[in-house]
Chain A
Amino acid sequence: MARKVSTQRKVAFTVMAWTIGFLMFFPILWTFLTSFKSEGDAIASPPVFLFFNWTMENYHEVQSRSDYFSHFWNSVVISFGSTLLGLLIAIPAAWAMAFSPTKRTKDVLMWMLSTKMMPPVGALIPIYLIFRDGGLLDSRIGLVVVLTLINLPIIVWMLYTYFKEIPGEILEAARMDGASLMKEVIYVLTPMAVPGIASTLLLNIILAWNEAFWTLNLTTSNAAPLTTFIASYSSPEGLFYAKLSAASTMAIAPIVILGWFSQKQLVRGLTFGAVK
């Protein structure tokens, strides 16, 4: 008897949750569907959902007309470049803070966090002028540097919360057994730290891929990543919904997929360990 009621409740919750999930996801689904329509079908009224002539035309068009892949490549270089550079700088720092903390470690961490709080407009003008004078406007190197710096606090913090979970006793045991520092790092620490580093990498690639203040302000064409490329669709000529959808789908697909894998890390990373 009680079981039957709970099944009914379960079905009711399932229907409600799926409805809401579908509504939240609908704009993405709609973009995906529209990307396979002809421009005529894309603006048909009443709208057509599934029964239209599916075509790959838009994907070809976007690729051939706007050099989609050079922008895609810029996004890849900028997000991976800034994340790897950030990891290179942050791993030693997070390591030191997690394994030989001092009285000031907490203050340093807090201070790093506080740099993330500065709104980008506070730095926009000097950075823009420095970039202009240094020939860095619309260059991938310039963006890699800026994105590394804005995400560095998050990288250090995430790594720190992961490293802190590695028990220090294991290191001492290894040291007792006569392991050298090199061996300690390679055989003991690395295997334990890799999952945390991988999560940090993943979240930061997502953040860098979607960053849309500095990329929009510091690039125009040559180094423009997908954020800037898509923004160029804001003043269109003629029919373009299907093409916009195709370009959008290609721009968001890799990250949405990566994002689904990193849900748990996302919570930890974006709340600086305050919610786990």
Chain B
Amino acid sequence: MATTHTRSAARLMMAPSVILLFAWMIVPLGMTIYFSLLRYNLLMPGTEEFTGLLNYEFFLTDPAFFDALKNTLLLVGGVLAISVIGGILMALLLDQPMFGQGIVRILVIAPFFIMPTVAALVWKNMFMNPVNGLFAWLFRLLGAEPLDWLAVAPLTSVVIIVAWQWLPFATLILLTALQSLDEEQKEAAEMDGAGPISKFIYITLPHMARAITVVVLIETIFLLSVFAEILVTTNGGPGTQSTNITYLVYTQALLQFDVGGASAGGIVAVVLANIVAIFLIRMIGKNLEA
């Protein structure tokens, strides 16, 4: 039984976390909203003035915004498709009886622990380089012309790099879910004459459904903010071919010093992320009750 005394103690114990997070959320967000309504360029100090929604108008009608929006969706969608489908297949495979399962799991999960700048630079130089990369060597071996990956297919290249990092995450979570599947249920289905495919569709897949949803939502949150991989590989280029919204806001803020415009972009990104967040919060909230 919680007494009034312990309850006020509990409140006191929670206070630092709550206050800090509240400040972290509200202060920068409030400032970003405020900046987004100003004409504010760091190169022209003292000329700040209120411009209403002009920054949003510029940002949302800028062709670069549409490219960035398209690239963001392609990047998120591409990586999600690879990591969810690949993750399901790999989880199914790793769940089978085999020798050295633990070691394979360690090998598969390793890319998730690689810092983004290392992953991106290793792929960029040692694999995708058109002269010295391993892919170039493979292409020549097969008699094909080596590809300048980052120039010809910049967004695809970024998708490959990011997918390499997130596929292990999906695999690990789906495998965890798979291993909690009741063996008896599968055996019962087998006795009823279910083949491997119908067993997968009617038993395994529904069992993994929640884990898949969690993977999709969590990856989406992180993938909307992919930054380092773009910065060290393509710098968003050529042109805006591999610029996502996060990178676009970064270039406007820290390269063009357009605080007002970048802030409007930041708010647009926040709105987009919130649409995803609503679904995620609901899912996890439901789980908390169970």
Number of interface residues of B (CB under 8 A): 107
Q: Is the interface of A mostly helix, strand, loop or mixed?
A: helix
Q: Are B31 and A92 in contact (CB-based, < 8 A)?
A: no
Q: Are A110 and B285 in contact (CB-based, < 8 A)?
A: yes
The reply on A212 being an interface residue by CB < 8 A is yes
What 1/0 flags go to B108-142 for Cβ under 8 Å of A?
11111111111101111111000010100100110
What 1/0 flags go to B159-182 for Cβ under 8 Å of A?
000001001110011001100100
Quick check: which of A19-27, A50-58, A185-193 contacts chain B, the rest being far away?
Answer: A19-27
The interface residues of chain B lying within 8 Å CB-to-CB of A129 are 31, 259
The interface residues of chain A lying within 8 Å CB-to-CB of B18 are 93, 108, 112
What is the bound-complex CA distance between A10 and B101, given in angstroms? 11
- Contact pick for B109, options A11, A149, A231, A260, CB 8 Å: A260
Q: Is the interface of B mostly helix, strand, loop or mixed?
A: helix
Number of interface residues of A (CB under 8 A): 96
What is the bound-complex CA distance between A16 and B104, given in angstroms? 10
- Contact pick for B122, options A6, A43, A117, A248, CB 8 Å: A248
What 1/0 flags go to A145-176 for Cβ under 8 Å of B?
00001101100100000000000000000000
The reply on B25 being an interface residue by CB < 8 A is yes
Point out residues on A near B: beta carbons under 8 Å.
6, 9-11, 13-14, 16-18, 20-22, 24-25, 27-28, 30-31, 34, 43, 45-47, 89-90, 92-93, 95-97, 99-100, 102, 106, 108-110, 112-129, 149-150, 152-153, 156, 206, 209-210, 212-213, 216-217, 226-228, 230-231, 233-234, 241, 244-245, 248, 251-252, 255-256, 258-260, 263-264, 266-267, 270-276
| 18 contacting pairs across A/B (C-beta < 8 A) | A27-B123, A28-B110, A45-B140, A92-B14, A92-B17, A96-B14, A118-B25, A119-B225, A119-B273, A121-B249, A122-B269, A149-B24, A156-B17, A212-B116, A231-B121, A234-B231, A244-B125, A266-B112
